[in-house]
Amino acid sequence: GVTGFQRVTPSQLKAMNGRKGRPAWSSYQGKVYNISPYLPYHPGGEGELRRAAGKDGAKLFMEVHPWVNWENMMGECLVGILVSEESGGG
């Protein structure tokens, strides 16, 4: 649809790396989140959170704080679901 839940391909996710004025997106368990609004509030610092920008953040996240509930905290920042390259398309 025009708004709301989007289908995001890996290359689209990669482009949303938080650089050149783009938002920072990160995937977690097959869902894609806009982490940009949370950057200034991340207790571990903006730089650490930016390491997950444009890619799957699960590994970094679980290495540092597996007790934190990503889905609860980032629920309002949900962009859509990660799909394969072929099944994307706006």
Which CB atom, from 15 or from 61, has the smaller least distance to ligand HEM? Answer: 61
> Residue 13 CB, nearest distance to ligand HEM (Å)?
14
d(CA 75, CA 90): 22
**Residue 39 · residue 50 · CB < 8 Å:** yes
Stretch that binds ligand HEM, among 6-14, 17-25, 45-53, 78-86 (CB under 6 A): 45-53
Q: Taken in order 17, 31, 84, 89, is the CA torsion positive or negative?
A: negative
Q: Which of 10, 51, 55, 78 binds ligand HEM (CB under 6 A)?
A: 51
Interaction of residue 66 with ligand HEM, rule CB under 6 A:
no
CB 38 within 8 A of CB 49: yes
Residue 24 near ligand HEM by CB under 6 A? no
